[in-house]
Amino acid sequence: MSAQNNEQKYLSQMVNAHKVANILMPLVEAVEINKHTESVDKVDVKTLFKNVIETGGRISETLAESHNFTDTSLISDKLFLTLAKSLRNSVVMFNATSLQLIESEVLDVFDECAPFLSSFCSEAMKDISSRGGQLSDMEKMRVEMDIQGHVVGALMRMFMPVWLFHTSLRTSGHVKDSETIVELNVRVSKFLIELLFKMTAKISNKESSVSSMFYMNGLTVAAEIITTSVHEYNTKLVKSPQHLSQYLSSPESILQALVEPISANFSTMNSVIKTVLSGK
């Protein structure tokens, strides 16, 4: 084996080890905390890790069957990391080792975003074709896998802070049961997905100077703008009993107040990008 092949092999091993370590870290933290609290009997990293992998496997199989999602390392990485963090919170905050609720929520989220993901991939592939890019079937599959990975990563980053906020409401006593958390997660996630769709529709991807990769990065930026805005708002929301009560009964009505400033910030960014790309 050549030196170059050896380097690639070792690099691949390092990358894979890093991915596994990222998944293990929140699980190790959960076990260490439980050693002091002794809230859950017979909990160990190996069992928690197995739970994450098995749950992620079921979700991946369901997505592949119901939405024709390609099973990719990018999607799996984001999915497993999300599950690991969720399981950590479940052990530490609720003394539970089940991922049943989060499994259902993740599938609900993908049900909501499946049409958008399909359209997004289609537009990106059309963009590549219009630029004269000739891809083999294998290359097309690889590109589609990369696109799916970008979108799923953006969605997971957008939803995780929201789900953690709802979890904190449960531990602080503002929410009395897990069913309410599930309902809040589903309703808020749906609202944010719709907002993200509207924002990405404004990205100037139709202009010849804007590539599909730039469009994908625009999606990530849009998700980050939403994530940061909602997170900052939530830190203030818990200090207002009146608004928090309204949020618990109708989260959409509270989040609606963020739509205008979020859209304005994104429109400004999009306008600046158009100016820069046009050379003006």
Question: Does residue 226 sit within a domain?
Answer: yes
Question: Is 155:109 a contact under the CB 8 Å cutoff?
Answer: yes
DSSP letters, the chain, are --HHHHHHHHHHHHHHHHHHHHHHHHHHHHHHHHHHH--STT--HHHHHHHHHHHHHHHHHHHHHHH-----HHHHHHHHHHHHHHHHHHHHHHS----HHHHHHHHHHHHHHHHHHHHHHHHHHHHHHHTT----HHHHHHHHHHHHHHHHHHHHHHHHHHHHHHHHHHHTTSS-SHHHHHHHHHHHHHHHHHHHHHHHTTS-TTSTTS-HHHHHHHHHHHHHHHHHHHHHHHHHHTT-HHHHHHHHH-HHHHHHHHHHHHHHHHHHHHHHHHHHHHT-
Count of domains observed in the chain:
2
Same domain for 26 and 75?
A: yes
* pLDDT tens track for 74-133: 556 777 888 888 888 888 877 888 888 778 777 877 777 777 667 766 766 676 666 555
Does one domain contain both 264 and 128?
Answer: yes
Q: Is residue 160 part of a domain?
A: yes
Range in 8-17, 22-31, 190-199, 223-232 with the lowest mean pLDDT: 8-17
Q: How many CA atoms lie within 13 A of 87 on its CB side?
A: 33
Do 153 and 22 fall within a single domain? no
Q: Are residues 117 and 93 in the same domain?
A: no
Single residue among 70, 98, 126 that ends a domain in this structure:
98
**Which residue, of 98, 122, 156, is where some domain finishes?**
98
Q: Do 84 and 164 sit in the same domain of this protein?
A: no
Residue after which a domain boundary falls, among 98, 126, 145: 98
Confidence band of 159 (pLDDT split at 50, 70, 90): confident
104 falls within a domain: no
Is residue 119 domain-shared with residue 206, that is, in the same domain?
Answer: yes
**Shared-domain flag, residues 136 and 49:** no
Q: Give yes or no: residues 85 and 135 share one domain.
A: no
The answer as to whether 103 is a domain residue is no
Q: Does 279 share its domain with 141?
A: yes
The amino acid at residue 86 is S
C-alpha span between 61 and 27 (Å, rounded): 23
Based on the fold, state whether residues 63 and 126 are members of the same structural domain: no
**Residues of the domain holding 275:** 113-280
Domain-located, residue 105: no
| Between 29 and 21, the higher pLDDT residue | 29
Supply the pLDDT for residue 63. 75
In a domain, 108, yes or no: no
242 inside domain: yes
Q: Phi first, then psi: what are they for 172, rounded to 5°?
A: -90, -5
Q: Could you tell me if 159 and 125 lie in one domain?
A: yes
| 107 part of a folded domain | no
104 versus 192: which is more confidently predicted?
A: 192
180 and 222 fall within a common domain: yes
